[in-house]
Amino acid sequence: MSNYAWRGYANINAGDYLDAQSDYNTVISSDPNSFDGHNSLCWAYGELGLFDKSLEHCNQAIELASTPIDHAISYENRCWVYVEMGNYEEAQQDCTQVFEIQPNCTYESCALAYYNLGRILLAQGEDSLAIDQFNRAYHYGSQYEVMYLDIAQVYDTHGYYEAALASYDRYIQLAGENANPVAQSRVIELGGS
């Protein structure tokens, strides 16, 4: 089963969420208590907008989490799903839970929790508070390229051009040849390479 888990992980990183679902469904059919299987299905179904299925697996992952890191990861994942759904109150509770579990957090889940809190505040018209959260997310760092693109666009819109350039650069590093051409053009306009 570890082969399916590894292939599912590769498929998620490649943005192939349908194949990732197939792989991780195979994992949990063999091991219904697989934290990684349920947590990954939470993400994969969420990326495709299948939020009911996503939440089912998010909730399972939270129940199956056995370490503080796994708990933080699973709450952050469900926070993201709730943000995607526009359920900001639930999302905020889950993102805040990440910091209660990991008060001195240095993990990617903290960067993503700050990012999602920023998205919530931005949607609620609290731009300056949102930027504070985005600054924290950028500081912690992540491999989630979309985070950097979103943060860059917010910085750019609000006139923080140096910060926008740094975030666009990080996005392009992570996205590689799949980087958004508009973001690449904006880097040149801002004086980057």
At residue 8, the pLDDT reads 66
Q: How much is the average pLDDT of 95-99? A: 95
Q: Give the separation between CA 70 and CA 62, rounded to whole angstroms.
A: 8
pTM score above 0.85: yes
Name 82's Cβ contacts closer than 8 Å, sequence gap at least 6: 88, 90, 91, 94
Q: What is the mean pLDDT of residues 161-190?
A: 92
Q: Is the dihedral of CA 132, 129, 81, 91 positive or negative?
A: positive
81 contacts 96 by C-beta, under 8 angstroms: no
Give Cβ neighbours of residue 53 (< 8 Å, ≥ 6 apart). 41, 45
Map tokens 């819109």 to a residue.
157
122: pLDDT confidence band, cut at 50, 70 and 90?
very high
CA distances for 66 relative to 26, 35, 47, 59, angstroms? 22, 9, 25, 14
> Does 192 score more than 70 pLDDT?
no
Q: What is the sign of the dihedral through the CA atoms of 123, 134, 181 and 187?
A: positive
Q: Is a pLDDT exceeding 90 seen at residue 86?
A: yes
Phi-psi region of 15 (alpha: psi -120 to 50; beta: other; left: phi over 0): left
Task: Give percent of the chain above pLDDT 70.
Answer: 91
**Total residue count of the chain as it appears in this document:** 193
What digits encode the pLDDT tens for the residues 25-74?
787 888 899 898 899 889 989 989 999 999 999 999 999 999 999 999 99
Structure tokens at 27: 């994992």
The SS3 assignment for 106 reads coil
Residue 93 pLDDT greater than 80, yes or no: yes
Give, rounded to a whole angstrom, the gap between the first and last alpha carbons of the chain. 44
